[in-house]
């Protein structure tokens, strides 16, 4: 099985559910463009247009759980970055938009592709990144997620792309 060397291999927390097609405009709205140089401030508005209370709710940890095509739209890396800063341990979705998915790995936020219909709002989840499984404790269900490509495992294992390139003075994939 894939071995992630991220800080915690087992993550535990509550699910916060969102629908299909959650765009980066919903995650990091353009009207806060001027806060992009102040990621902590921007994180206070994360997903605000989908759930105005979300930034408060996620403070004590948990997971963002979406439907299909999560993160479509702009290339703004600020989107996954503020999800991470706000307190989420991972993003789970049935599918991800390409740039958002790549950005998640680059900033060290696990993005897991799985059947999110098996997860309800507020369900308690235990994610084992090493084994590739998600335990839905509330529903007493086991959910598997698709393994990441080996290059992404390496990047995530190094703590993100910037750290990977700093350490290796180039790609070592």
Closest CB 108 distance from other proteins, rounded Å: 10
User: Which C-beta is closer to other proteins: that of 13 or that of 73?
Assistant: 73
112, 15, 121, 18: which is closest to 63 by C-alpha? 15
User: Which C-beta is closer to other proteins: that of 15 or that of 24?
Assistant: 24
Contacting positions for other proteins (CB under 8 A): 21, 23, 25-26, 29-31, 33-38, 49, 68-69, 72-78, 95, 97-99, 102-103, 106-107, 149-151, 160-162, 165-166, 170-171, 173
Helix (H, G, I), strand (E, B) or coil at 24: helix
Closest CB 122 distance from other proteins, rounded Å: 24
User: Which C-beta is closer to other proteins: that of 59 or that of 166?
Assistant: 166
CA–CA separation, 15 vs 97, rounded Å? 20
DSSP 79-134: HHHHHHHHT-SEEEES-B-HHHHHHHHHHT--EEE--GGG--TT-EEEEETTTTEE
Closest CB 31 distance from other proteins, rounded Å: 5
């Amino acid at each position: 099985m894939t071995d992630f060397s991220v800080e915690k291999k087992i993550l535990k927390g509550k699910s916060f559910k969102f629908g299909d097609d959650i765009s980066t405009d919903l995650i990091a709205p353009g009207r806060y463009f001027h806060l992009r140089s102040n990621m902590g401030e921007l994180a206070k508005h994360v997903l605000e247009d989908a759930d105005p209370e979300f930034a408060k709710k996620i403070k004590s940890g948990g997971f963002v759980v979406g439907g299909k095509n999560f993160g479509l739209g702009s290339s703004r890396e600020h989107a996954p970055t503020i999800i991470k800063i706000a307190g989420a341990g991972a993003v789970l979705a049935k599918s991800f938009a390409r740039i958002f998915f790549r950005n998640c790995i680059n900033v060290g936020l696990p993005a897991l592709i799985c059947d999110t219909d098996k997860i309800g709002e507020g369900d308690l989840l235990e994610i084992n990144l090493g084994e590739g499984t998600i335990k839905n404790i509330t529903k007493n269900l086991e959910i598997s997620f698709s393994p990441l490509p080996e290059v992404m495992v390496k990047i995530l294992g190094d703590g993100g792309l910037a750290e990977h390139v700093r350490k290796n003075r180039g790609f070592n994939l």
